[in-house]
């Protein structure tokens, strides 16, 4: 019987592989182990909760359809995860395919059937808000680079009836956490107002629904369905470009919701004024609320995200490994997640501890090498002077004030480390002797290991120079 389960699961994996490619399938589905199949319930063992999130978010569609094809339409999926790696006592089970309930939703079902999105005889359909339960505010790491967007999002979630930030237009590069943040709004609203109608819909899906309604001549029902919402979360608005019919429908939905004090939140990969192929009248509506950029995580936030992801997946990442990843990653949250999962899977496959060398090896395959930045003496002086908030001219003077002397010695130290200048040339540039420069470098090297303020100054200045 167990062999039969394995054979069936292998068929599921083969279907998935045909759709997502062998490399991705091996990474994400090669580690899944089918444990049991009883009463239409398939139990899969996965390495960590992150795999559960990945299955439920990125692979939900292909996973659900493949399971139905092989096991039948009544299949239920249960995940088995060890919270602490290699500790069977920490094992927990998690019900799977939460998003698959959306298939039962009338407006999703309408993509494949002849039933209307909404008919006059059925004015209040039940529906799935399409929220991923793991994308909460509590699971969102906050730092200086994303503090303001997070604060606004949390305010909207805690005050769904207020129009202080309506609409909320959140933009930023791919992978910085926009979807997570707006999903968190929806989840918080549902927690505090269970009867609220909340809908998360990617623009591409919104467009498919519109096209289906257009073919069936049911656009009024389509618009009416979305006009019921208390909170509407639309993801990836840039895909609305040059879709005039969909834009007109969204315009009507927007006006109705805004006039009735309902929350409207958008994500996009660019500012509203940079959107092409979208009617100006809709872009003007975005200006009624607040527009905020979600920036890439800075160094400190990247470290916080890595620590959170590692703890969540039962990984013990050393400070050196975390600093390495934070230093050389581009800043995308998705990239950070990918690196953590790469380290996890490599560690499991090799049955070895996570070392700096293992992390470096994983990053060679996941992080695009950065082109080394050319750093010169003048840049070091300017950056160091900015850090200490002093006039650069004082560095070249005879002043022995503590912060000026520290700045001068750090410049000596970094000039030797980051440039090809000799100590003699560094001395001439600083109006100091060769021996003074060597002494200054030695002072920094001696103090950097036990003086916290100096260590922080050197790290921040060097990081700024390399960024």
pLDDT digits (tens, 9 = 90+) for 334-349: 778 778 778 878 777 7
> Cα(154)–Cα(464) distance, rounded to whole angstroms?
31
pLDDT band at residue 84 using 50, 70 and 90 as cut-offs: very low
Stated pTM of the model = 0.55
In eight-state DSSP terms, residue 132 is: -
Highest mean pLDDT among 99-108, 241-250, 305-314: 241-250
Alpha-carbon span 438 to 328, nearest angstrom: 30
Q: How far apart are CA 78 and CA 33, in angstroms?
A: 12
pLDDT at 104 (0 to 100): 33
Judge whether residue 124 has pLDDT over 50.
no
Q: Which residue has the higher pLDDT, 79 or 351?
A: 79
Share of the chain above pLDDT 90, in %: 24
Q: How much is the average pLDDT of 100-127?
A: 40
What average pLDDT does range 393-401 have in this prediction? 88
User: What's the start-to-end Cα distance of the chain, in Å?
Assistant: 57
**Which residues, in sequence order, are CB contacts of 137 under 8 Å at separation 6+?**
150, 153, 154, 157, 184, 187, 188
**DSSP secondary structure, 231-286, as one string:** EEEEE-GGGGTT-HHHHHHHHHHHHHHHHTT-EEEEEESS-GGG--SS-HHHHHHH
Rg (C-alpha) for the chain, rounded Å, is 27
pLDDT for 116: 35
pLDDT at site 110: 40
Q: 232 is written with which tokens? A: 């509407």
State phi, psi for 119 to the nearest 5 degrees.
Answer: -115, 155
Q: How confident is the model at residue 154 (pLDDT cuts 50, 70, 90)?
A: very high
User: How many CA atoms, within 13 angstroms, populate the side-chain half-sphere of residue 237?
Assistant: 30
d(CA 336, CA 367): 9
Q: What angle do CA 309, 313, 318 make, to 5 degrees?
A: 65
Chain segment 9-28, per-residue pLDDT in tens? 999 998 888 777 777 788 88
Q: Quick check: helix, strand or coil at residue 340?
A: helix
Question: Facing residues of 43 across strands?
Answer: 36, 78
Q: What is the mean pLDDT of the chain?
A: 81
Name the strand (E) or helix (H) holding 81: strand 76-82
The per-residue pLDDT for 367 is 67
Cis peptide before 167 (omega within 30 of 0): yes
- Check whether 352 has a pLDDT greater than 80: no
Give the tokens for residue 416.
């030797």
Q: What is the pLDDT of residue 108?
A: 41
Q: What is the DSSP letter of 59?
A: S
The count of other CB atoms within 10 Å of the CB of residue 430 is 19
Task: List the one residue out of 291, 262, 275, 296 whose CA is nearest residue 170.
Answer: 291
Q: How far apart are CA 370 and CA 339, in angstroms?
A: 16
Question: Does pLDDT of 381 surpass 80?
Answer: yes
């Amino acid at each position: 019987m167990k062999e039969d389960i394995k054979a069936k699961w292998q068929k599921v994996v083969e279907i998935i592989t045909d759709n997502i490619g062998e490399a991705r399938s091996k990474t994400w589905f090669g580690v899944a182990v089918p444990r049991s199949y009883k009463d239409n319930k398939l139990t899969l063992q996965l390495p960590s909760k992150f795999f559960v999130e990945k299955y439920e978010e990125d692979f939900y569609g292909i996973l659900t359809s493949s399971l139905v094809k092989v096991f039948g339409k009544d299949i239920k999926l249960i995940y088995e995860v060890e919270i602490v790696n290699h500790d069977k006592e920490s094992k927990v089970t998690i019900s799977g395919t939460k998003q698959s309930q959306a298939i039962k939703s009338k407006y999703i079902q309408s993509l494949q059937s002849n039933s209307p999105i909404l008919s006059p005889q059925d004015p209040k359909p039940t529906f799935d808000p399409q929220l991923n339960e793991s994308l909460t505010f509590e699971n969102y790491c906050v730092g200086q680079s994303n503090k303001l967007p997070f604060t606004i999002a949390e305010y909207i979630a805690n005050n769904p009836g207020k129009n202080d930030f309506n609409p909320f237009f959140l933009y930023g590069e791919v992978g910085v956490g926009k979807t997570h943040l707006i999903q968190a709004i929806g989840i918080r609203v549902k927690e505090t107002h269970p009867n609220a109608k909340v809908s998360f819909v990617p623009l591409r899906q919104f467009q498919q629904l519109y096209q289906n309604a257009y073919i069936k001549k049911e656009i009024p029902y389509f618009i009416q369905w979305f006009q019921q919402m208390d909170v509407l979360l639309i993801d990836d608005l840039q895909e609305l470009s040059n879709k005039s019919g969909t834009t007109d429908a969204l315009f009507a939905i927007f006006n109705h919701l805004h006039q009735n004090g309902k929350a409207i939140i958008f994500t996009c990969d660019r500012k509203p004024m940079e959107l092409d192929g979208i009617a100006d009248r809709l872009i003007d509506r975005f200006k009624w609320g607040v527009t905020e950029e979600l920036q890439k995580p800075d160094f400190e936030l990247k470290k916080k995200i890595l620590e959170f992801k590692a703890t969540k997946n039962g990984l013990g990442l050393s400070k050196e490994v975390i600093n390495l990843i934070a230093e050389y990653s581009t800043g995308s949250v998705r990239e950070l997640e990918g690196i953590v999962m790469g380290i996890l899977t490599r560690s499991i496959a090799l049955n070895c501890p996570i070392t700096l060398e293992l992390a470096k090896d994983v990053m060679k395959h996941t992080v695009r090498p950065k082109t080394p930045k050319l750093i010169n003496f003048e840049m070091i002086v300017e950056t160091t002077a900015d850090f200490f908030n002093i006039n650069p001219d004082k560095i070249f003077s005879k002043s022995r004030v503590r912060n000026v002397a520290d700045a001068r010695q750090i410049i000596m130290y970094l000039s030797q480390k980051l440039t090809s200048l000799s100590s003699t040339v560094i001395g001439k540039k600083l109006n100091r002797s060769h021996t003074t420069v060597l002494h200054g470098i030695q002072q920094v090297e001696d103090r950097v290991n036990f003086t916290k303020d100096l260590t922080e100054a050197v790290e921040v200045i060097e990081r700024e120079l390399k960024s």
